[in-house]
Amino acid sequence: MAKITKEQITETQKKRYAKRRKFTGATAPEPVKNPQATMIYGRILEIRAQKTQPHQCDAECKRAGHRYFHPFTSNAQIYGLANGDLLITGRKK
C-alpha cells in the first residue's frame, strides 16, 4: 500500500471543506482579533501588593506581612481590556 503524503491529506481536506461550504452555505471562520485596549493610567508610579499564595518566605517577608512595594522608574502604563482584565506594560501602544 502506498503511503499518503501530507500534501495529499491537505488537498483532500480542502476539497471536503469546499464541498461542505457549497452545500451548507458556511463561511470561513473570522480571524481572531485581540481585545481592544483602553488606556486607564498613562504612568504608574508604584504598586503595593501582598502575596496570598504559598511562596518561599524569609524573616523580612514575614515581618512585612508578605507585602511588597514596587516603584516604577520606567513609563509603565495600565490598560483595560474588553473582558475586564488589566494589562500593565512598559511598551507604548
pLDDT (tens digit, 9 = 90+) per residue, 22-57?
666 666 667 777 768 899 999 999 999 888 888 888
Q: What is the pLDDT of residues 62-77, one digit of tens each?
A: 888 888 888 988 889 9
- C-alpha span between 35 and 80 (Å, rounded): 10
d(C-alpha 49, C-alpha 47), whole Å: 6
Task: Specify the pLDDT at position 80.
Answer: 92
Q: State yes or no: pLDDT of 14 exceeds 80.
A: yes
CA distance 51 to 67: 7
